[in-house]
A and B are shown apart, each in its own frame.
Chain A
């Protein structure tokens, strides 16, 4: 039995437009490696060069955020369903963050 993986719009260029693909693996990392063998470049969008889960995506096994399950080490069982969503985040322009840091008392960043 395979694991069903839901792919967000932004990554469907790697799946030929498919919204749901299937793969296998004992861990999330294994699943991504398996998916990458058929969906070229997908893994690079999910995993950083240093082998960590990318900040730009949220990955869920069934109803759990994998960041609380060991991220790429998270265990998978047949019939699990994996959902990938783009993380929605951002902020004010960087100079504002820099200014805020500089204002904070005792900040070593005030060089």
Chain B
């Protein structure tokens, strides 16, 4: 399960909308080993493409070093699909090189609603997970949970485990 603040999700969606119809991409860093996504880092899509995204290698080196210095990890790696569903493509799976990351996909194909789904991608195997959106600044226990995907068995409106 991915637990993430609504403010960060909103920032990711805004980034995806801003770059639409090109794909947008980025990272949410968090303390190493914590699985907490706390620091949003929008990245440039060096491919500037509607069907492909690619981190700029020099920007990535700088960001990955900075995470290392701060004892952080790339907790979330996100990108948008601008004409198709928020599900990892074959290319996404073949490149997925952070086994501990949550791969968050946002689809902006509908003009006024977003599809947001999260996956683990390990050794070529894609596993969808629940996305738990935390409303900070409200009652910390008033947690809302969404399963944006099509696997109703994993829907859990109690956000158990938090």
Interface residues of A, Cβ cutoff 8 Å to B: 8-10, 56-58, 60, 63, 65, 67, 83, 85-94, 96-97, 100
Q: Which B residues touch A60, using CB under 8 A?
A: 57, 61
Interface of chain B, helix or strand or loop or mixed?
Answer: mixed
Q: Is A88 a contact partner of B60 (Cβ separation < 8 A)?
A: yes
**Chain B contacts of A9 at CB under 8 A?**
98-100
Q: Contact between A96 and B83 (Cβ–Cβ < 8 Å)?
A: yes
Closest residue of B by beta carbon distance from A11: B97
Closest Cβ–Cβ distance, residue B46 to chain A (whole Å): 9
Expressed in whole angstroms, the Cα–Cα distance for A67 and B57 within the complex equals 10
Partner of B77, one of A88, A91, A100: A88
Among B2-10, B47-55, B110-118, B154-162, which stretch is in contact with chain A? B47-55
Which chain B positions have C-beta within 8 A of A93? 81, 84-85, 87, 89-90
User: Looking across the interface, which residue of chain B has its beta carbon closest to that of A10?
Assistant: B97
Cα separation A88 to B57 with both chains bound (whole Å): 9
Residues of B at under 8 Å CB distance from A? 23, 25, 43, 47, 49-55, 57-58, 60-61, 64, 77, 79, 81-85, 87-100
Instruction: Given A58-B57, A87-B55, answer yes or no on A92-B83 (Cβ-Cβ < 8 Å).
Output: yes
CA distance A57 to B57 in the complex (A): 10
| A-B residue pair count with CB separations less than 8 angstroms | 94
- Smallest CB-CB separation from A90: which chain B residue? B92
Q: Which residues of A contact B43 (CB under 8 A)?
A: 88
Known: A87-B54, A96-B83. 10 other contacts (CB 8 A): A10-B98, A58-B60, A87-B97, A89-B55, A91-B92, A92-B23, A92-B81, A92-B82, A92-B83, A100-B51
B30 to chain A minimum Cβ distance, whole angstroms, is 15
A107 to B30, CA, bound (A): 45
Q: List 25 A-B contacts (CB under 8 A).
A: A8-B98, A58-B57, A58-B60, A60-B61, A63-B61, A85-B60, A87-B54, A87-B95, A87-B97, A88-B43, A88-B54, A88-B60, A88-B77, A88-B97, A89-B53, A89-B55, A90-B52, A90-B93, A91-B52, A91-B53, A92-B81, A93-B87, A93-B89, A96-B51, A97-B52
